[in-house]
Amino acid sequence: MRAPATLPPTGLPGLVPEFSRLVEVPETSLAPGGSTLALTRTWHLLDNGPELLSHGRPILGTVLCVHGNPTWSYLWRDLVAQATDAAASAVGAAAGPAARGAWRVIAVDQLDMGFSERTGIARPLARRVRDLADLTDALGLEGPVVTFGHDWGGSISLGWAVDHPELLAGVMLLNTAVHQPAEFAVPAPLRLALRRSVLGTATVATPAFLATTLALAHPSLGADVKAAYAAPYRSAARRGGIGAFVADIPVALTHESRPELDRIAEALRNLTVPALMLWGPRDPIFSDRYLDDLVDRLPHADVHRFEGSGHLVMEDSPYAPMALGWLAARVSPGAGAAVDAVVTGSAASAAAIDPATIAYRPLWHFLDELQGSDETALVDMNPLTGSGPRVVTWRLLSRRVRQIAVGLVSIGVKPGDRVSLLVPPGADLTAVLYACVRIGAIVVVADAGLGLRGLTRAVRGARPDHVIGAAPGLAAARALGWPGQKIATARFPAAIARTLGVKHTLASLIALGRATGAVLPPEPAPTDVAAVLFTSGSTGPAKGVVYTHDQLSKVGYALFAQYGVGRGTGLVAGFAPFALLGPALGARSVTPDMDVTSPKTLTATAVAAAVAAIDATVVFLSPAALANVVATADALTAADHTALAGVQSFLSAGAPVSEPLLAAAAQLMPGATAHTPYGMTEGLLMADITLEGIRAAAPASGSATTMTDAAPGSVAGAGGVCVGTATATTRIRISALDAAGLAVGELSETPGVTGEIVVSAPHVKDHYDRLWSTDAASKRGSLTGERWHRTGDVGHLDAAGRLWVEGRMQHLIVTADGVVTPVGPEQRVESVAAVARAAVVGVGPAGTQHLVAVVETVVAARRVALAEPELADAVRASVAADGGPSLAAVLVVPRLPTDIRHNSKIDRSALSRWAGGVLAGGRMRQP
């Protein structure tokens, strides 16, 4: 039955009505000669071309997107929107060709599907391929064109691709197939649907086939998204194309469409254009066997599997930014140099991605997109109520954020106001933080691990206009005179509220948000300041690191690009910043039950409970927390082990992590890849290495450069901790040291040169807050205007491009014979059987310093003392081996002092002063 094409109804979640258009297309006959009939067909499609032109962006090419069954162009909404957003945000960018241009995205509704015309006649595969060609002819489409197909649309798009080599620049695929391997049976769901007794009823007479397909999402789609997919198929008359698509699957060799499918499948072997396959391995229809077949036909293709995703991979995973990043790296003008720079393994996109190709996505994006979803957004394992885990859905989180945001506006919080958050990690902190950033307020986050003195310094230095806190933070704020209007997370008796200076509570803000008609202010601009995050204070007073909205958005992208953390990921974060980023990534997140001021309080059972609470696939823990998790593993139950076995990646960062510790943790999470990222508050993800990478790098770790053969940039103590290679959006360089230990060398990738580690990435901080001199000293420019951040860490790159961290610049030891970095000698000391941990520091004036080793022994010492001769000799010999530096003394302590935040970083500066005092005749007391 014929029916005209229409435009989709407005209000479908995520669909921009302005992208919809109807196109009249003359239909070409399939008979020899291909004459055009008098008949025309009307197609509905999404097209961002006019929007790109309105931004004045040159069009680099067209991505031609073809849906499968029983979907429609709605499945490409994220790609259309993000390609458009990237173009808009790149206005004025002085970058490469990919930044100056943009990709047009055309997503079609195939005839008899979506909101395109119902033709009332059979349209087998060959007809579908010709239909698509008719459309592109009518549009006057010019190259370069990259096709992008899913499901049966994959075969159709590939048919167009092999027929248009003069226009084709690349192919991209989501789960699809072009061939049924003879050794495997047709997937059971399709066998069932193809039965004559089932086909008509399941696909046309009822919406069963559609409902079954939509149920394949992981996690489940929200009701509003399901309704959007079903919008074109409300009646049996509108579902004829669904049944026809199923009937057109050429299972039998004699099927009408079999010759066309075979033609396309074999022609793929001759395609040499770049290819990308983004795959959901949980697909019960197009499993990995079909991926293997496609890779066999396109062996040069780039492949990324989204673990945990299935048939609706575009709903399960953030495929769109990956696709756009791939276009920039592989297909866009100037992309040839990036062909060999694709990150493999767990990384999700090309290395050194051009920042201008990364679409800006505000932190509250998923709160808007999923505001009608009852999927879990976060779980609070230790709520202040003490009533057990608290599950918060996207619907509730989105509503709470908006209510609090309106309430904040009602009490006078304005864009640009600073709001200090003194709230423990959990649901309240998440809701407050997102409410603040949505209205353009600047959140100030100082970790309670700074201690009262450090916290006071941070809060006062940031000069907040408002303070939102729980009871401990508000009591400290009152006692120490911290500035700002006080807002409590809980209700207090009137007398206590007056004493603490509390004017409002979260409950009162929520009530205002429900009752008031206040309108939220316009969204802040990407360049507006979003947050001031304080460093750990482990190497000096904590610094406020300023991030814009765009830079925080890029932090999320960096996590996605490197680890695939995004829509559908379950994230256990034993490190608060990553828990707070969960909603921005569309991930389910949970902070395990622990005292956030003491990472060592985290137990294995608490991690297992957190994993089970959200079916987590990614776990992030600090090294100190990870150590205690391993230490308490005996308490795990069989159910705990089952939960941990589902983890796919675990990360530990914040300080060096030893191979034995990672290996022990890997035994608890046997299905996970172990990572230890390298980063800092100024750039949370700069480099990454896996457990396997650490083991592969181990033979090089013992190398040391002697002072007698030192070349420029070489120092004693080389070796250090291998932290891997640069992440997908990062570049790393070294500025060589001079004889005084100053990083004065040009930025270089030369292997074996020790110097300050300098990084560049779109998610590096904007500046330090109110520390102009410190900020100016932290920056290095380049001829291209690229922003480089001086990390303050010292290290070198090896011949394989791996970064080795040798310590901190401020911990360099400058002796009469040259510069010594501390980590290499410390590793040698720790190789002595009796030594548990060590720190090597310099004593005396720079330029004439002497090396001193301060050690914890395996059998803990009861008091501070000079090492016994046997131990001292072994320690000295370990450091001096192969021409290493000499030690002036070896001191034994009951425990080495560490920072509060990570319980793992040794304050070598304080230890140096202490050791100098002890050796000068001072008291032998614990440092």
The tokens for 843 are 């004593």
Q: What is the band of 543 on the pLDDT scale with cuts at 50, 70, 90?
A: confident
- Same domain for 380 and 523? yes
Instruction: Kindly indicate the confidence band of residue 386, based on its pLDDT and cuts at 50, 70 and 90.
Output: low
User: Would 741 be classed as within a structural domain?
Assistant: yes
Q: In this predicted structure, what is the pLDDT of residue 702?
A: 38
CATH number at residue 472: 3.40.50.980
Residue that is last in its domain, among 515, 548, 581:
548
H or E segment to which residue 291 belongs: helix 288-297
Angle of helix 623-631 relative to helix 604-614, nearest 10 degrees, comes to: 100
Asked whether residue 415 falls in the same domain as residue 456, the answer is: yes
Residues of the domain holding 915: 822-919
Containing 577, the helix (H) or strand (E) segment is helix 576-585
**Any idea what the CATH number is for the domain that residue 835 is in?**
3.30.300.30
Mean pLDDT for the chain overall: 86
Q: Tell me the one-letter amino acid at 423.
A: V
d(CA 656, CA 793): 13
Angle, alpha carbons 275-280-282 (nearest 5°): 150
Q: Are residues 379 and 507 in the same domain?
A: yes
Tell the residue number behind the tokens 């035994």, with chain if given: 667
Same domain, 863 and 716: no
Say how many C-beta atoms besides its own lie within 10 A of residue 85's C-beta: 17
Helix 549-563 vs helix 319-326: crossing angle, to nearest 10: 90
Tell me: do 368 and 504 sit in the same domain: yes
540 found inside a domain: yes
- In this structure, the answer to whether residues 311 and 410 fall within a common structural domain is no
- Which of 431, 425, 474 has its CA nearest to residue 445? 425
What are the C-alpha distances in Å from 309 to residues 177, 456, 512, 567, 569? 17, 45, 40, 10, 10
Q: What is the CA radius of gyration of the chain?
A: 30
Of 184, 111, 186, whose CA–CA distance to 153 is shortest?
111
Domain contains 306: yes
Using the predicted structure, report yes or no on whether residue 340 has a pLDDT greater than 50: no
Residues 345, 282 share a domain: yes
Domain membership flag for residue 217: no
* Strand 767-768 with 570-573, pairing: unpaired
pLDDT at 263: 97
Indicate whether 322 and 434 sit together in one domain.
no
The pLDDT assigned to 443 comes to 94
What's the rounded Cα separation, in Å, for the pair 471 and 488?
7
Q: How far is CA 588 from CA 314, 584, 605, 621, 670, in A?
A: 17, 10, 20, 16, 22
pLDDT band at 223 (very low <50, low <70, confident <90, very high): very high
Report the CATH number at residue 743: 2.30.38.10
- Name the band, by pLDDT with cuts 50, 70 and 90, for residue 356: low
**Minimal CA–CA distance to 128: which of 142, 149, 146, 145?**
149
- Count of domains observed in the chain: 4
pLDDT cut 70: percent of the chain above it: 87
Look at residue 815 and give its three-state secondary structure.
strand
**Residues 766-812 pLDDT 10s:** 888 877 767 778 888 655 567 899 999 999 999 999 999 999 999 99
Q: 159-168, 425-434, 601-610, 873-882: which has the highest mean pLDDT? A: 159-168
Backbone angles phi, psi at 789, to 5 degrees: -110, 125
Instruction: Give the number of other Cβ atoms within 10 Å of residue 263's Cβ.
Output: 17
Give the single-character DSSP code of 233: G
- For position 380, what pLDDT does the model report? 86
Range name among 32-36, 640-644, 767-771, 862-866 with the lowest pLDDT average: 32-36
Domain end: 327, 357, 387, which one? 357
What's the rounded Cα separation, in Å, for the pair 537 and 545? 12
Predicted confidence at residue 338, as pLDDT, reads 31
Same domain, 268 and 407: no
For residues 764 and 912, state if they share a domain. no
Residue 147 covered by a domain: yes
pLDDT band with cut points at 50, 70 and 90 for residue 252: confident
Residues 167, 157: Cα–Cα separation, whole Å: 13
Locate tokens 């993000």: which residue?
A: 82
Domain assignment present for 719: yes
* Pair (772, 890) in one structural domain: no
Q: Same domain, yes or no, for 110 and 138?
A: yes
Residue count (the chain): 927
How far apart CA 691 and CA 679 sit, in angstroms, is 17
447-456 confidence digits (pLDDT tens) = 766 777 777 7
In a domain, 10, yes or no: no
User: Within a domain: residue 614?
Assistant: no
Summarize the confidence of residues 636-653 as an average pLDDT.
Answer: 93
Last residue of a domain, one of 297, 328, 357: 357
Burial class (CB in 10 A: 0-12, 13-18, 19+), 164: middle
| Secondary structure letter of residue 197 according to DSSP | H
